[in-house]
A and B are shown apart, each in its own frame.
Chain A
Amino acid sequence: MRNPRGPLVWGLIAALALGALAFAGDKKHKNQYQNIEVVRFDIKEGVQFPADYLHTMTEELVSQLQQTGKFGQVLREGETPDKADAPTIRLTGTVIEFHPGSRAKRYLVGFGSGKTKIVAHVKFVDKATGEVLYEDDVDGKVWIGAVGGESIGATRGLAKEVAKVGKQQFF
């Protein structure tokens, strides 16, 4: 009689092996970089993203990355690090989607109505070599808050998400 557990065991071993390989690949960049430089994001053509939101988002990115406590220095575009040869990540991105939402709808209607959403395609790049270390789409949303929540708060949500991704990928 054929042992039903045989294929199951082999499948489990194969899954574990694949997982280990993936984990090893991710681990390649772990604890390799000391600093991160934040560059102002671009805006995809056709996306109406206000200038004040863009600048607010940049400042929020710097703030949230500093709050992770993982990077030695969080640099702004144009700043030079204390140690010139310290491995540095360059964070760039493009805002690809923006829904301004409506505070009044969030407050008066609720249930996700009037949600503000910002989606950006972010790239973590090795500043020295230009190699793209990681890239993904991240978003920030406001769907609830005090008196509906401020729409510009979506920039902080996106920044927190970026900081979380950065921490997971590189530490």
Chain B
Amino acid sequence: MKATRALWASLLFLTSCWAQAPPPAPTPSPTPTPSAPQPAPAPERKNQPAATPAKESPAAPAQTDAEDMTVSGVFHIVGVPGLKRNARGDLLLSRSDLTFRKGNKQLLVLPFRRIQKVELLSGERNYEKATAAAAAVSPVGAFLILAKHKVDTVVVEYVNERNGKMAMVLQLPEHEGARCQQWLERYGVKAGGENPQPATPEKK
């Protein structure tokens, strides 16, 4: 009887996890409308470098007035000094620099003139904490590891104050990577990659 209850509880929990919303939406800001000649961003991202610069795209009128752009729910992989992998923070893009912020603390401020290249890749993340919690309730919960959500992996290559080559790897909510890249391209940052491939290839 207890086992049956536990099983029902875990199934209900799994169902709620499947139904849960994707990562929180970023702060609303004007979104550029891609022009007709531009390729579709989703298939482009998987096997190709990011879309060509959207210089010809008809920018929405409000876009030119936007001072900055904020993306919340960003996962840090590597590159921000002193910050652990998978720490969450916000990415702020102004007209001149890129800032990674955790809470009220600005951990890295990167002027655009130091950014050499921004590469956009597709990626996936597991529901690690939810899986661990579900597995603690019932062994069936471990199968939640099979569930994944798509993210945009952004690789920012830049030079530090000593002229050393560095890179920052972040995972943004899906579709936010393309918006960030378009913002950066508008202010002169080079986009794309030389060896495009999925960020986390599936084992064949």
Binding site for B on A (CB under 8 A): 40, 43, 48, 50-52, 55-56, 58-60, 75-80, 99-105, 107-108, 114, 146-148, 150-152
Contact = CB atoms under 8 A, between A and B. Distances in A.
A107 B159 CA distance: 38
A78 B169 contact: no
Interface string B166-180: 110100000000000
7 contacts: A50-B200, A52-B199, A76-B162, A76-B164, A78-B159, A107-B142, A107-B145
Contacts of A77: 164-165
Contact of A50 (B79, B145, B201): B201
A146 B131 CA distance: 10
B131 A80 contact: no
Nearest to B171: A52
Nearest to A58: B167
Interface residues of B, number: 38
Interface of B: 77-79, 85-86, 119, 121, 123, 126, 128, 131-132, 135, 142-143, 145-146, 153, 155, 157, 159-160, 162-167, 169, 193, 195, 197-203
Nearest to B165: A77
Nearest to B196: A51
A51 B200 contact: no
Given A52-B123, A100-B201, A147 B164 contact: no
Contact of A59 (B79, B119, B135, B202): B79
Given A78-B164, A108-B143, A147-B145, A102 B128 contact: no
A152 B77 contact: yes
Given A103-B126, A107-B145, 10 more contacts: A40-B165, A51-B119, A51-B155, A51-B199, A52-B169, A56-B169, A78-B164, A100-B203, A146-B128, A152-B77
B166 to A, nearest CB: 6
Contacts of A55: 78-79, 155, 157, 167, 169
Contact of B163 (A78, A99, A146): A78
A80 B162 contact: yes
B199 A50 contact: yes
Contact of A76 (B160, B200, B202): B160
Contact of B164 (A50, A79, A107): A79
The A interface, classified by DSSP as helix, strand, loop or mixed, is: mixed
B169 A104 contact: no
A52 B203 contact: no
A43 B143 CA distance: 34
Contacts of A50: 121, 197-201
A51 B164 contact: no
Contact of B197 (A40, A48, A75): A48
A59 to B, nearest CB: 5
Given A77-B164, A152-B77, A52 B145 contact: no
Given A51-B119, A51-B195, A102 B203 contact: yes
A79 B155 contact: no
Contacts of A108: 142-143, 145
Centre residue among A40, A52, A151 by max chain B CB count within 10 A: A52
A134 B177 CA distance: 41
Nearest to B144: A147
Given A55-B169, A60-B78, A76-B160, A114 B145 contact: no
A52 B197 CA distance: 10
